[in-house]
Structure 1
């Protein structure tokens, strides 16, 4: 026990709202919403554990609000009148949160008609008078008035979300005055969230400056008559009565009766029995295990159990789009506000803070988030309750950038960003976006780290990936989602900015039209969030969204900002080399054809191959021209057509030159000197990330040409690149998911899996049998047909079928997995990964053979490839925190390419970082999924991406 008493007072009300926005809408076995309860419980547990590790408090209590009214409502009837009612699904959780506090056997303080802040103030000052140190666990600015030291007894604050201690210097830095004058500042500036009037037009900076210069609120108001004539003087004179009323409202009441004695708050350990009973009752099985009380009753299921779905017994297929959805009014663009002053901006910020949930969208000068300039921000708090905040519009009337044109009234961008920063970074306010990764990167360049976030695009993907038939699903862009779910057609960008030579930038759009377009984006996003979040628990999408995709959003955004360095000189050399090779091949192809023609024209190429040169097997499509796709050219090449080989090589070099060696030079960002790809979390139906602008995932890896391109990817001076790759992860997952003992044993013992397959199939391992086994291993997982395998191996279809039959005989579990998977997909309409990701196959029962077989092949592979994608995503989310915990902050994660992660780091960190990276990747499936096979990870380092691979 420490010599000095140290009381911790936990602002439980703040914890509740933070927990509500951090956790999904979970339910307990009785169907009661418990997402906030679960979050509150874990946060309180973490606080207790962290404080215990730090030898923190000797005494601790949780303080909650019991009533919505207090003495302040008697003084000012409009006090907190702007506060919206709590969300409908949060109301039944309030008593359960009280139960959670009691389950920890912690003192809980809540008094009728007394606000939690006043109880905290009364206890804090009483303890300080006794010579105790006090820490208030909260980030509430009102409570910062209490910070200080008296007779060696200190009161400080702890913001657990940001792990920040607040004492006198931090208060002075934030508000420009010491804590004892903070109430005066708050009285001047007011607080829209609590509906404290203050003085209209006086913001935080002005209020701080006035109090710092004059010493008190009374002194400021007394000095107002002698000020020079100004708008500020008028406001101070007119608003004196409101300011003095506000000073009473912000003053913390510190003489409340103390229902629990200070000594009764002594920490003496948490008895496990009541906590275990509480956790068992609500199905919090993972917390039960942490407590060491077992996993609870085996027959009791809950959607919080990692092994069970998150639908509380609901049948996802039965519910689908039939769930009753919230009714909303039609979109009314005339209702939107254009925010052009700080007063109105502060009003919206306060309302958003009180609402705890706000849709956010940014308008910019370009599509590239790394180079685009911020033009404006839009916010939405409900249907038709939206605004646009112009920040960099060029002139009043729009339609040009005439230097003599009058710029519209708008808030200074830097000032607006400073004002928006606390809202956009607040852990207590959920920020909703449509592809919010883009907005995160835009705002990060203005020193705003947006968190926490929800993304309607990803929510839609996790609900409807692959649904593209009968209007049920399709794309996940906002315009498509608005049409599909809201029956609303959004304004198009081209309608606002035009097209072609007459197109203007968004900063040139008149503010009335810009407001309609931008605020609509936020309004529609808010509506989509309400609809999609309502569907998610019923349709089993919460688990994959909350555990895999949502946590990945800021990680991928950070990787995009990091970018990767490329050697421009090497790329230019390669482009020149490729151009020479392309010219040589063009001459040889023309010579073989006997005439010049446009090789890039499928029509001309088809006529040359099948009419002039007389090759057999040419087939014309609906357009009337011959097909000359990859399979046709490969077939001709196998039949001895030399020109086909040359066309294939010509096409490859042309694509590599245009797509990579030329394009990468153009893609180098002038500000960072690096290439910044854009990752899509919804680009691949199975859940894999896709890469665009530029696409860094399709660079050939097994060809010399591809390796040359990878050599151009380099680290900064003094660093190296590290590539960490999952080895044969899809085969390992197939062994687990199909429960193939032979393959599981081979992976467990570190045996070469292709050699083992060759031995099982052919009885011997030679170079040829291993090569064939390798092809078959991967082909089977993609549901390949006898003809497809025959084409890959260069054998007859009957021989390929015999190989497939032998494979299934040796590994019957694989065939059972395929049959079982197809049966389930035909019945339910979707496949599912080990982590609950659904991929829909609406054409799995199509009467069209080609459509049906294509769906079947994709359905066989989707659970395996999707699980692989989920695993590497989980590794990415855990990677940087693990590296930071290991004291390796200089290791940067740059790229994700299918099963590979690429890092840049100092050479001196390679050994330590390799161990951390390997461990995080190996354990990425845990604890949600425990695999029967180990995940193998191969790591390489070097002065280029090629050397590291």
Structure 2
């Protein structure tokens, strides 16, 4: 290793004449990325599904480092050093260098450029150089800093960098918050830093494919170097070594050992891409950092960086520390509009007029209410919103109703507001000491609801809502069927699905340049937050009436665009009827057997205790089976199992993937995994479902999100009933707890392989079409076509591989992903995919056609006209663009499947009623499945209607070239019906 910089004159130039001595921090960014990736479970950006787990972990680690570096020993200069590419000058020395390294995980590749963006957003300089590894650049800059009389601090714990430690150069392990100097190297490897190159030359490196001396490990290498002084002397005197095997190895592999030394030696004379002066610490640009965190949808990190603060104006929430030589770390406030899409020009007409909260009316007498209702009826269109005391539409109390006729022409009708309990009363009634405050002036609730019923059910008056499913359900519980309605959230979703969120606040900022009053402004936050019914009438009026006002203004801007952009039919046939349909389903709920759930919880608890005892016996001592830290220390610290990796916090990684790999050869990880599965099922389902159940009816009421996924798929929450396991015995036991009411049965109606059928139609794949029309086993037919194996007597493994490819192709699977799924090498997986495309060339044509389409117009469409925008396709990052291409291939297929089941759901109530089956209730939607409750005597007749509606849901808009097939069964519980 050379200690002489390439340009001594530049290196010796005084960098800090007027400030503190040079202290250059060099972050080993590449190591940070991989550590972040392996430390966290997979995470995707909600708006478009982009993998961002490593980016989030990296940002968290970088932010912590920036905070930790504050103080008198912080850096004057700071840079993050990245690897530029796989090929470096070392490959010219040895073509097998790093040859055995697998490619990065498929979901990590698009995150590399985002990590670089993150680094720059946090105000840290990014440095990389083609032909050189990050370690070489770190070495070069460390040497320059030392030559300039300063100090270099290498932020890493990588042993490859320990050779640099010495005068003016130390390492800092951020995971252990520990500085590493000569003594730390000696403690760990038994040699001083100046001998680390020789040590590594002997022991080699299996990860980088550095050969070293076969059979010589770290301890032996350290002993030899201690005895002979250095590697050259050791090799010269190798014949003196008494142990025959060591002697022969050193003599026979001398050239290999010397080559290994050249491979592990870092260079101090790499071309420095930028001078150290450019790395002076700086504050991040507020708008850039805020925009990046918003772009990535890292809300919790944004709040943490901002210490819980918010700002009224973009870019003005940062408060840099004062009077310190260390870097000034900002405080982040409210996010700004994401740069993933261009903000729309705000309309200059009346819809964008300034909001005047003082103009809103608080209606407290019937004359005023009747007058407003009369004007709304005459207008024919009214903005409508409800205020409640709970987020659950099925149980919320109605606090009041707001209406809007035009800009600033809005009102709030309070119904059940109360004074906030006096301090110290705890809300208790003190009998003879009544509240001395004047009662709130409000109208009689039944009287108001009767008058509102006439307006809200008037077919000649359009009610405009924002996420109106909630309001429709709230009013339905009070005997009011709100109709007809338009929903601005869904109109926006149809127009710009995939580009941004569709909540009212975001739409108001985008289209009205207005920030609505935050809920916390009127109700408080945290423990101090009060129910809306305790908000005083004046602020309640401003908040509630503004919601109706904003909603109506948005409708007047967005609704005309449907016709202009040819999307009216999409909205009318795929979205408009869904709020009413889903509100009925949510109000119905589904019955559960609480005793069965409690019994399952008890059984799970007993089995968990048995597994814990079993784990303690295997380990030979007690430990907390629910503690990842203790598990990691036990498996890797005490038992020395292979494959251990440290997380960002310095703990051992003990995620499912790690334990699954270990479980192949050791019983303890399997016991831990089984315990974890039961713990999750118990907490997420058996315990949680009992807690979520309505005790009066034993029914659970989920809530569906209509605009959650870009493809049109619904999401379920509170509780989530779409993720209950179905393919294992324990999951089936949970589904058995979902039961029909006495005298009824549950009907499960499920589309059979709908996405593959849509692939056959959309891609025009003759082979798949023929198989579906003939009613063949599609996976067996595919295997037969690919491998030339007869369908009869086909090995199950052959069919399984075809099935994995069939479904994988729909999601743009790569050889890497298929290899991981099937447990085969990438070459074999790549050959399978190649054969698949050769046998089904139409699929490749579809993929190429779709990628060209999304590149050209930025979105793809389903066969029903739904636009799915793919903003990643215009990214500056090639990896992110490739992710966008894969998303574009799947979107028309998954989106069409979502469209079909939506069309079926919106037709179902009327079809059942027309068939005299009004007693049959649709309860749940789980992606491609609908669940109904029907009287036992009507089940067979109901299934005929249900199948017909679902199997013809594509018509008349589209006539698919393959048949839709629905499997339907009736039983007393969900598992038996599925």
The TM-score bracket by the shorter chain reads: 0.5 to 0.7
- The corresponding residue for 1:394 is 418
Match of 1:339 among 363, 377, 380: 363
In the alignment, structure 1 segments of 5+ residues that lack a partner are 1-316, 468-472
Distance across 2 between alignment mates of 1:322 and 1:510: 36
Match of 1:536 among 562, 569, 572: 562
Could you tell me how far 1:595 is from its partner in structure 2? 5.2
Given that 2:343 and 2:510 are in contact with CA atoms closer than 8 Å, whether structure 1 keeps it comes out as: no
- The corresponding residue for 1:941 is 970
- The corresponding residue for 2:945 is 916
Q: Deviation digits for residues 189-240 of structure 1, max 9, x if unmatched?
A: xxxxxxxxxxxxxxxxxxxxxxxxxxxxxxxxxxxxxxxxxxxxxxxxxxxx
Match of 2:444 among 402, 412, 429: 412
2:530 pairs with 1:501 = no
Between 810-819 and 597-606, the greater mean CA deviation after superposition: 597-606
Equivalent positions of 1:839-878 (< 5 A) are 839-848=868-877, 851-878=880-907
- The corresponding residue for 1:768 is 797
**Cα 1:574–1:664 shift into 2, 3 Å:** same
**Cα 1:324–1:482 shift into 2, 3 Å:** closer
Tell me the secondary structure at the aligned position of residue 475 of structure 2.
Answer: helix
2:749 pairs with 1:717 = no
Could you tell me how far 1:646 is from its partner in structure 2? 3.1
- The corresponding residue for 2:464 is 432
Match of 2:862 among 826, 829, 833: 833
Match of 1:488 among 502, 514, 522: 514
Tell me the secondary structure at the aligned position of residue 713 of structure 1.
Answer: coil
Given that 1:357 and 1:432 are in contact with CA atoms closer than 8 Å, whether structure 2 keeps it comes out as: yes
Given that 1:326 and 1:530 are in contact with CA atoms closer than 8 Å, whether structure 2 keeps it comes out as: no
TM-score (norm 1): 0.63
Could you tell me how far 1:566 is from its partner in structure 2? 0.4
Q: Which structure is richer in relative contact order (CA contacts within 8 A, separation 6 or more)?
A: 2
Distance across 1 between alignment mates of 2:347 and 2:526: 44
Equivalent positions of 1:122-133 (< 5 A) are none
Distance across 1 between alignment mates of 2:474 and 2:643: 53
Distance across 2 between alignment mates of 1:335 and 1:563: 41
- The corresponding residue for 1:581 is 607
Equivalent positions of 1:498-647 (< 5 A) are 498-593=524-619, 596-620=622-646, 622-637=648-663, 639-647=664-672
- The corresponding residue for 1:363 is 387
- The corresponding residue for 2:726 is 701
Q: Deviation digits for residues 45-95 of structure 1, max 9, x if unmatched?
A: xxxxxxxxxxxxxxxxxxxxxxxxxxxxxxxxxxxxxxxxxxxxxxxxxxx
**Cα 1:384–1:810 shift into 2, 3 Å:** same
Equivalent positions of 1:729-808 (< 5 A) are 729-764=754-789, 765-808=794-837
Could you tell me how far 1:819 is from its partner in structure 2? 1.8
Tell me the secondary structure at the aligned position of residue 537 of structure 1.
Answer: helix
**Cα 1:383–1:935 shift into 2, 3 Å:** same
Given that 2:740 and 2:933 are in contact with CA atoms closer than 8 Å, whether structure 1 keeps it comes out as: yes
**Cα 1:319–1:512 shift into 2, 3 Å:** closer
Given that 1:396 and 1:511 are in contact with CA atoms closer than 8 Å, whether structure 2 keeps it comes out as: no
**Cα 1:630–1:463 shift into 2, 3 Å:** farther
Q: Deviation digits for residues 759-810 of structure 1, max 9, x if unmatched?
A: 0112222211111111111111111111111111111111111111111111
Distance across 1 between alignment mates of 2:341 and 2:420: 54
Aligned length: 626
Q: Deviation digits for residues 550-589 of structure 1, max 9, x if unmatched?
A: 1121011111111111000000000111112222333334
Could you tell me how far 1:943 is from its partner in structure 2? 0.7
Could you tell me how far 1:531 is from its partner in structure 2? 2.1
Could you tell me how far 1:540 is from its partner in structure 2? 4.2
Q: Deviation digits for residues 109-132 of structure 1, max 9, x if unmatched?
A: xxxxxxxxxxxxxxxxxxxxxxxx
Tell me the secondary structure at the aligned position of residue 358 of structure 1.
Answer: strand
Could you tell me how far 1:930 is from its partner in structure 2? 0.9
- The corresponding residue for 1:446 is 478
Could you tell me how far 1:321 is from its partner in structure 2? 4.0
TM-score (norm 2): 0.61
Distance across 1 between alignment mates of 2:817 and 2:691: 39
Could you tell me how far 1:602 is from its partner in structure 2? 4.6
Given that 1:782 and 1:860 are in contact with CA atoms closer than 8 Å, whether structure 2 keeps it comes out as: yes
Equivalent positions of 1:3-152 (< 5 A) are none
Q: Deviation digits for residues 857-915 of structure 1, max 9, x if unmatched?
A: 32221111110010011001111111111111111111111111111111111221111
Tell me the secondary structure at the aligned position of residue 886 of structure 2.
Answer: helix
Tell me the secondary structure at the aligned position of residue 857 of structure 1.
Answer: helix
Distance across 2 between alignment mates of 1:800 and 1:774: 13
**Cα 1:742–1:551 shift into 2, 3 Å:** same
Equivalent positions of 1:658-673 (< 5 A) are 658-673=683-698
Could you tell me how far 1:592 is from its partner in structure 2? 4.4
In the alignment, structure 2 segments of 5+ residues that lack a partner are 1-339
Given that 1:323 and 1:535 are in contact with CA atoms closer than 8 Å, whether structure 2 keeps it comes out as: no
Distance across 2 between alignment mates of 1:821 and 1:609: 48
Distance across 2 between alignment mates of 1:453 and 1:591: 63
Could you tell me how far 1:850 is from its partner in structure 2? 5.1
- The corresponding residue for 1:76 is none
**Cα 1:669–1:714 shift into 2, 3 Å:** same
**Cα 1:936–1:786 shift into 2, 3 Å:** same
Equivalent positions of 1:143-292 (< 5 A) are none
Distance across 2 between alignment mates of 1:663 and 1:542: 41
Distance across 2 between alignment mates of 1:539 and 1:643: 60
Q: Deviation digits for residues 594-635 of structure 1, max 9, x if unmatched?
A: 555554455554454444444444445555555444444444
2:399 pairs with 1:375 = yes
Distance across 1 between alignment mates of 2:877 and 2:827: 24
Q: Deviation digits for residues 124-177 of structure 1, max 9, x if unmatched?
A: xxxxxxxxxxxxxxxxxxxxxxxxxxxxxxxxxxxxxxxxxxxxxxxxxxxxxx
- The corresponding residue for 1:247 is none
Q: Deviation digits for residues 430-487 of structure 1, max 9, x if unmatched?
A: 11111111011111111100001111112222222222xxxxx2x2222222223222
Distance across 1 between alignment mates of 2:769 and 2:911: 29
Given that 1:326 and 1:531 are in contact with CA atoms closer than 8 Å, whether structure 2 keeps it comes out as: no
2:715 pairs with 1:690 = yes
Tell me the secondary structure at the aligned position of residue 413 of structure 2.
Answer: strand
Could you tell me how far 1:374 is from its partner in structure 2? 0.5
Given that 1:319 and 1:538 are in contact with CA atoms closer than 8 Å, whether structure 2 keeps it comes out as: no
Tell me the secondary structure at the aligned position of residue 613 of structure 2.
Answer: helix
Tell me the secondary structure at the aligned position of residue 609 of structure 2.
Answer: helix
- The corresponding residue for 2:931 is 902
Runs (4 or more) in structure 1 with deviation over 6 Å come to 317-320, 396-400
- The corresponding residue for 1:198 is none
**Cα 1:943–1:669 shift into 2, 3 Å:** same
Distance across 1 between alignment mates of 2:448 and 2:771: 60
**Cα 1:852–1:348 shift into 2, 3 Å:** same
Distance across 2 between alignment mates of 1:557 and 1:627: 43
Tell me the secondary structure at the aligned position of residue 454 of structure 1.
Answer: strand
Distance across 1 between alignment mates of 2:876 and 2:616: 45
Distance across 2 between alignment mates of 1:842 and 1:578: 45
Given that 1:395 and 1:406 are in contact with CA atoms closer than 8 Å, whether structure 2 keeps it comes out as: no
Match of 2:377 among 319, 328, 353: 353
